[in-house]
Structures are given as C-alpha cells and as structure tokens.
C-alpha cells in the first residue's frame, strides 16, 4: 500500500509515541533541504520531506533531485551527540531499509556501509548520512533511494534504489522503520557500533584510493575504527584516515556520490 503524503503525520507520530529520543514529527510536502529546516526545529524533532529539491551531502556535494521517489529525513539530537553518531545512524538506515523490504516483499537486500556515511547494495549507492552541528543541536540527515527506476547518466553506474533491486517499498513505512531504528542506535555504545559496522563494512579487504587533506592515499583497507577512522595499509606503512577529511576517489571506485540528505 502506498500511503498518501497527508496520512504520514499521524502514522509517524504514532512511532514517536514510544520513542526515547524523538517526540515530534514535521512532514513537509516539498522543501529545498530538510537539513536547513531542522536548524530552526527543537531538539527531538523529525523532519520528513515528500520531495527535496536541493539536498546536500558531505564536503559540499549536492544531492540529485529525484522528485518524490526518495526518502529525505532529518533528526535533531542534542549538541553532545556521540562522535560516532554518523556510523550509528548509517546502521539504523541499513536495518530500516531491510526491515521495510521484508515487510513488503518477504525478503531484503544486504545493505552494506561505506565508511563513514554511505549505504551500498550490490556495489552501488543506496543512500547517505549527513551530520551537521548547529547551535545547541546535532542535525542528522538521512537520504535513501526508494522508488527510482533511473538516475542521471553520470550516476547510473554508481547509484541504485530499493526498486531497482526488486523491492517495492512504501516510503512512509520506510520512514517508520528509520525513526524506530535511529532511536535504538543512538543509545548504543562505541563497541556495539564498531562491531555491527564491521559486519556491514563494504571497504575492508579492498585496495582503495582516498582523497585526504594531505593528498591522495592508496592502500588496503584493513579496519574501520569508529573512534579514529579508516586504517589503510600503504607502501609507507599503516595510516589512519580521519573520516571528516577523507573521501573515496570516485574515478577509482564504484561507490560514488549518488544521494545525500
């Protein structure tokens, strides 16, 4: 069942009724960016867009507008949210995507995570996480490709959606699972986040080229440490690449920028 947008508030508010971190939902028919709206929202608010037209991602990247086929959600959490909040929410988004697929189709894709903020399925990007700090709050954005059947030519080989993977999912149902899972994972400690992230890690064991603040680094990814970053074995020894200053070199890797909140 595909729920009309005007029915979403009641459904999502019901999820928040048993939620420890989020008590209010705001559903917007269309907005440039849920992240921008969240700057004026109180802590504990969830902002959901029926359509987002000017979303953004990490390091200034843009989000390709996909009309009403994707899910864009922003959460407002306390300013002192854990340093590993991006990884925790990525885990929540991966589980929520699988939950929604299972409910709708009886099966689910395996959603992997590309450190620090991308969801990938079958080697292509399904969604992304964006964490921004504002006065008195942490704003956590989640973008998930849901019903897209095609992407712009520049993204077609690097992006995917639940629909392209064979799963017809209602966006409101996906948002329900996402709110519940984010609430759960924000209470997790670093050890649990690290263990669960490693089980979904899409980079470990691969030779990857990274763009860093100090230049290009190429090496074998041997670990992902939620407190430090990516541990890469290079010709000059092991290096730890901090997540806030590191990105995968897109031309060398399929996991490129596709969608961001």
pTM of the model: 0.87
Residue pair 42/101 in contact by the 8 Å Cβ criterion: no
- The pLDDT > 90 percentage for the chain reads 62
d(CA 105, CA 64): 27
Q: pLDDT digits over 187-234, tens only?
A: 999 889 989 998 999 988 999 898 888 889 999 999 887 677 889 999
Q: pLDDT digits over 169-183, tens only?
A: 999 999 999 999 999
Give the per-residue pLDDT at 63. Answer: 52
The one-character DSSP state at 81 is: -
Is residue 192 within a helix (H) or strand (E), and if so which, with residue range? Answer: helix 190-200
Arithmetic mean of pLDDT over the chain = 87
Is residue 9 within a helix (H) or strand (E), and if so which, with residue range? Answer: helix 8-16
> Could you tell me the pLDDT band of residue 55, with boundaries at 50, 70 and 90?
low
d(CA 187, CA 193): 10
Give the per-residue pLDDT at 65. Answer: 54
Tokens of 100: 């929604």
């Amino acid at each position: 069942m595909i729920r009309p947008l005007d029915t979403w508030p009641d459904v999502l508010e019901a999820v928040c009724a048993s939620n420890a971190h989020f008590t209010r939902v705001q559903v917007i028919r269309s907005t440039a960016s849920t992240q921008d709206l969240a700057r004026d929202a109180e802590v504990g608010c969830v902002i959901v867009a029926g359509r987002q037209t000017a979303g953004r991602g990490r390091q200034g990247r843009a989000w390709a507008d996909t009309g009403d086929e994707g899910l864009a959600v922003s959460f407002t959490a306390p300013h002192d949210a854990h340093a590993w909040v991006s990884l925790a929410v990525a885990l929540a988004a991966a589980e929520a995507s699988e939950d929604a697929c299972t409910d709708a189709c009886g099966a689910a894709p395996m959603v992997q995570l590309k450190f620090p903020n991308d969801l990938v399925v079958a080697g292509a990007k399904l969604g992304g996480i964006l964490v921004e700090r504002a006065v008195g709050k942490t704003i956590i954005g989640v973008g998930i490709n849901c019903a897209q059947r095609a992407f712009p030519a520049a993204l077609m080989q690097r992006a995917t959606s639940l629909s392209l993977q064979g799963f017809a999912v209602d966006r409101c149902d996906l948002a329900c699972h996402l709110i519940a899972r984010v609430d759960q994972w924000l209470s997790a400690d670093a050890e649990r986040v690290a263990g669960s992230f490693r089980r979904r890690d899409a980079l470990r064991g691969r030779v990857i080229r990274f763009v860093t603040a100090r230049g290009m680094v190429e090496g074998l990814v041997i670990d992902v440490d939620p407190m430090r970053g990516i541990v890469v074995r290079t010709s000059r020894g092991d290096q730890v690449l901090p997540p806030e200053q590191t990105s995968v070199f897109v031309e060398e890797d399929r996991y490129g920028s596709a969608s961001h909140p």
